[in-house]
Amino acid sequence: MAGILAWFWNERFWLPHNVTWADLKNTDEATFPQAEDLYLACPLAFCIFMIRLVFERFIARPCALGLKIQANGPQKAQPNAILEKVFTAITKHPDEKRLEGLSKQLDWDVRTIQRWFRQRRNQEKPSTLARFCESMWRFTFYLYIFTYGVRFLKKTPWLWNTRECWYNYPYQPLTVDIHYYYILELSFYLSLLFSQFTDIRRKDFLIMFLHHLATISLITFAYVNNMARVGTLVMCLHDSADVLVEAAKMANYAKFQRLCNLLFVMFAMVFISSRLGVYPVWILNTTLFESWEIVGPYPSWWVFNLLLILLQFLHSFWSYLIVKIACRAISRGKAGKWNPLHVSKDDRSDIESSSDEDNGPPPTPVQKHHNSTTNGTNKVHGTNGYLSAGAPCLDEH
């Protein structure tokens, strides 16, 4: 184990030339980031998770009820042992061949079985109230941490001159404000990582799990090799858009249509301008070119910049998705109200659409004949299938 640790913390990888870990030990005159400082984030992540539970129960939930957001979830499917066995053991999305087989076995028409599976899938999804409470928690945290970041950074020289991120590197002392900022951000993302297993089950569970891992890795990486100054810029920049998207979701759940539209437009403008404009011009410029000029490259420098460049590709992809959602919303809005979050359906949280017919129970065998004779008409109205949003998630960055 000692050999593995010595290999992992190799000074030639982590630190610039002629710098050792001994040079960065804490002294009476200066304090530097230490890897063991981050151990504090684990118990703090648990505390944040508990605070979240209290917040959602005693603050977010009353607010949601005050906005008349209903606590009841989607309608439950009628109990059926055969369909339940197929749903739990075989597939939640039966193909046409299986639907026809079930139709013959149960003496139900195919459209009714499709409706049952749709209702059964929706049954596992949360109510609007639960989604509102989760968004309100994230909105509150992002608003707090972004406000803290702005108030802290406006007093620092590297906000106004990014070359200050590299002067005297890596012998830049760690301040209490920077330590608090990093530990709180790291703890929050650790809590998100673990709460994925107890939270609303997302369609993009694996993608967001990997996203949280990447975020935690970047925060840890920047702290350990004392790239803490530029790390604070990256964190604050990314938090700016998160506040708006969670606010837009809350407005959408509360059915404040105009406010939702306004917040989505603001979110799209902030996201695209900050991720495609400010990030490459401000962040990548200093990590790639100014740091090369002042400090020079070394192995972990290459890794850090590679991760930041990969993040830029993700920014471009997510910006494309946002523009796509906006275009779909505008095109559909020609025939009705413009609602970007409704069009996107936020695949991670919203429930599949269904017709008003879906609220009724499956027909009896006697009704089957009548349904089959009217099936052609129903197909014209699109009730034979199920509607689902196909747009991607806009959430953690």
pLDDT, tens digit, 9 for 90 and up, residues 72-113: 666 778 888 889 888 888 888 898 889 999 998 898 988 998
Measure the CA–CA gap between 110 and 108, rounded to whole angstroms.
6
Tally of CA atoms within 13 A in the half-sphere of 147 that contains its CB: 7
- Token code pair at residue 267: 């979110």
Q: Is the pLDDT of residue 71 over 90?
A: no
In eight-state DSSP terms, residue 387 is B
What is the average pLDDT across 280-302? 96
Q: Global pTM?
A: 0.79
State the average pLDDT for the chain: 83
Pairwise pLDDT comparison (202 vs 304), residue with the higher score: 304
Residue from 71, 73, 72, 67 nearest 254 by CA: 67
Measure the CA–CA gap between 313 and 316, rounded to whole angstroms.
5
Measure the CA–CA gap between 107 and 364, rounded to whole angstroms.
8
Q: Is the pLDDT of residue 178 over 60?
A: yes
